[in-house]
């Protein structure tokens, strides 16, 4: 039963800005991941992803032109009651331009 609770509490559904942490990172690599995800790697070796980004109309070539080797702001969802910061990107922006958002 404990395992099921952990699985349910890690589901990110209808994220809100207040449920996220904002990190500024320099993106050095962008690639397709599993299940149509888009995976971003930063200059520290960390990886973040946009869930099913390719199905949401995002394009790797366009993203490379907009964010590769640039400083970006990542809104990362908090899970497990805020105890853990996920690698799930809920919003991606460069300067004042929002490239992707899950916020309604």
pLDDT tens sequence across 15-43: 889 989 999 999 999 999 999 999 999 99
Which regions in the chain score pLDDT beneath 50?
1-9
- Say what the pLDDT of residue 83 is: 85
- Domains annotated for the chain, with CATH where assigned, are 2-101 (2.40.50.140)
Q: Which helix (H) or strand (E) holds 89?
A: strand 84-94
> pTM (2 decimals)?
0.86
Rg of the Cα atoms in the chain:
14
Q: Is 98 helix (H, G, I), strand (E, B) or coil?
A: strand
- Say what the pLDDT of residue 82 is: 80
CA distances from 75 to 29, 62, 98 (A): 18, 20, 11
């Amino acid at each position: 039963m404990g395992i099921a609770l952990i699985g349910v509490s890690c589901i990110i559904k209808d994220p809100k800005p207040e449920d996220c942490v904002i990190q500024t990172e320099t993106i050095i690599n962008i690639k397709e991941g599993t299940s149509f995800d888009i995976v971003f790697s930063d200059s520290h070796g960390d990886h973040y992803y946009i869930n099913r980004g390719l199905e949401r109309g995002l394009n790797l070539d366009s993203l490379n032109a907009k964010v590769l080797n640039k400083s970006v702001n990542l809104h990362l969802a908090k899970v497990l009651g805020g105890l853990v910061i996920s690698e799930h990107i809920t919003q991606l922006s460069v300067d004042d331009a929002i490239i992707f958002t899950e916020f309604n």
